[in-house]
Amino acid sequence: AAERELGRPELAELADDDEFLRSVSSAVDPDLALASVARLLSAAPDARDLAAALRDDDQLRARLLAVMGFSAPLADHLVRHPDQWPDLRRPDLVERPGHGQVRAALGRANNAEELRVQYRRWLLQIAALDLTDVLDMAPVSAELAGLAAATLDTALELAARDMPSDAEPCRLAVIGMGKTGGAELNYVSDVDVIFVAEPVAGGNEPAALKTATALATTVMRLCSEYTAEGTIWPVDAALRPEGKAGPLVRTVASHTAYYQSWAKTWEFQALLQARYVAGDRELADEYLSAVGPLVWRAADRDGFVEDVRAMRRRVTDHVRPTEAERQLKLGPGGLRDVEFAVQLLQLVHGRTDESLRSPNTLEALDALIAGGYVGRADGAVLDEAYRFLRTLEHRIQLQRLRRTHVVPSQQDQLRRLARAIGLRHADELTTTWRRHAMEVRRLHEKLFYRPLLTAVA
């Protein structure tokens, strides 16, 4: 198959190049890499320049083949937009831009279709650095969360352009929750948010909330709808007060009143990762200042221990029995066990120790270790396991750009995943994964019940 592919006229200048062939053979999926490069050369108006770069530019060749030899959707994106391949040869690519630069680049999009193209353009760059080991799991997750924030900000701007001229002005802030709020996002994930709105000074509150609801609804649609360029991701606002049964948008006072009187323990746990991501920053700060102190009183509430046990049961009940042993997120010894233990320790000890209040799992774990709430040896095991499991999750999602947390069972897929994280074969991947899951399971029980007893006391 490779010989047939190399016989295509598009690859004539590369078929006998030793460095190119060696790089192709080192790709996760060499056949996919070769076929994708041939398609890109067919589509690129500057094919001769691209072929020369693949011959002579070691860095470009490594980045391009790493992506095109692993992620078929990103390879398809490059074939649709061949003008973007020079992005991967920029010497400053490793100097990752700040939020303002990403926001400015995405802001050039005039509609949802162009926003998708720009989003995938930045995703391509992150994936190239990830797959060539320039960035490891934590900065990749932070980059993805930053890209999500810039995308939401741009979608909000596009939504505002479509509002009727007589719409009541409003202030609207988008609060990131979950992995978005924790700056530890996956490649493919629901982006959890809460919308907060206020009228402008002297404005009509009901009318302003109507405008804010229309804006929030449009933002969700722009990000989640499918077009010829695919989709970005679903925006999920189900963590808001009363969930999907409650209003999509509330004022700061309405949010505060709900959390003071009606919120359950799991809702305060969710607020551990609340963070400004888009819209009116001052309003977001008002919201966080109002609800933040309530989080640290959750462990003092009646029934806290019973609530925590119920929260854990609810997580395990969502796992399909046929997938339980292959579930990276919710299965035994999975990612949620690490996150749950860390967040519970935060709720209990963060009441008096403000150093524990980071929304980021690994940062919070570091603080728990530094404060003596988690032993250094146990903390190091959890840190290593979490990084490995998240890296494996990233690779599984990046391969098809699909939202999944299930490790495949087919040997050929396991082999590709093993190569993608630097392991030699499928058995080594399975053994390493099972070892980490076993350690997480052991430490989860140890760290899970200790804070429960502390809370009771």
CA 63 – CA 73 distance, rounded (Å): 16
Residue 24: closest CA among 83, 66, 79? 66
Handedness of CA 58, 1, 415, 126 (dihedral sign): positive
CA 129 – CA 132 distance, rounded (Å): 5
Burial of 453 from C-beta contacts in 10 A (0-12 / 13-18 / 19+): exposed
CA 346 – CA 358 distance, rounded (Å): 9
Helix axes 137-161, 376-400, angle to 10 degrees: 50
- What is the torsion angle, in degrees rounded to the nearest 10, for the CA atoms of residue 85, residue 90, residue 95 and residue 97? -50
**No. of helices (H) and no. of strands (E), the chain:** 20, 5
Q: Amino acid letter at 126?
A: I
Residue 149: closest CA among 213, 225, 97? 97
Q: Around 99, how many Cα atoms within 13 Å sit in the side-chain half-sphere?
A: 14
Q: How far is CA 322 from CA 189, 318, 319, 325, in A?
A: 22, 12, 8, 8
Contacts of 31 (CB under 8 A, 6+ apart): 1, 2, 5
Using only C-alpha atoms, the chain has a radius of gyration, in whole angstroms, of 24
DSSP 28-80: SSHHHHHHHHHHHHHH-TTHHHHHHHHHH-HHHHHHHHHHHTT-HHHHHHHHH
CA 121 – CA 398 distance, rounded (Å): 14
Can you read off the two tokens belonging to residue 391? 């890296």
pTM metric for this prediction? 0.96
CA 428 – CA 431 distance, rounded (Å): 5
What is the CB neighbour count within 10 angstroms for residue 220?
A: 21
Contacts of 212 (CB under 8 A, 6+ apart): 170, 171, 172, 195, 197, 249
pLDDT score for 316 = 73
Secondary structure class of 167 (helix, strand, coil): coil
Helix axes 335-349, 376-400, angle to 10 degrees: 130
List the pLDDT tens digit at each of the 457 positions of the chain: 888 889 999 999 999 999 999 999 999 999 999 999 999 999 999 999 999 999 999 999 999 999 999 999 999 999 999 999 999 999 889 988 888 889 999 999 999 999 999 999 999 999 999 999 999 999 999 999 999 999 999 999 999 999 999 999 999 999 999 999 999 999 999 999 999 999 999 999 999 999 999 999 999 999 999 988 989 999 999 999 999 999 999 999 999 999 999 999 999 999 999 999 999 999 999 999 999 999 999 988 888 878 887 887 777 777 788 888 899 999 989 999 999 999 999 999 999 999 999 999 999 999 999 999 999 999 999 999 999 999 999 999 999 999 999 999 999 999 999 999 999 899 999 999 999 999 999 998 787 766 665 655 5
CB 348 within 8 A of CB 454: yes
Q: Is 197 left (phi over 0), alpha (psi -120 to 50) or beta?
A: beta
CA 347 – CA 332 distance, rounded (Å): 22
Can you read off the two tokens belonging to residue 254? 């309405």
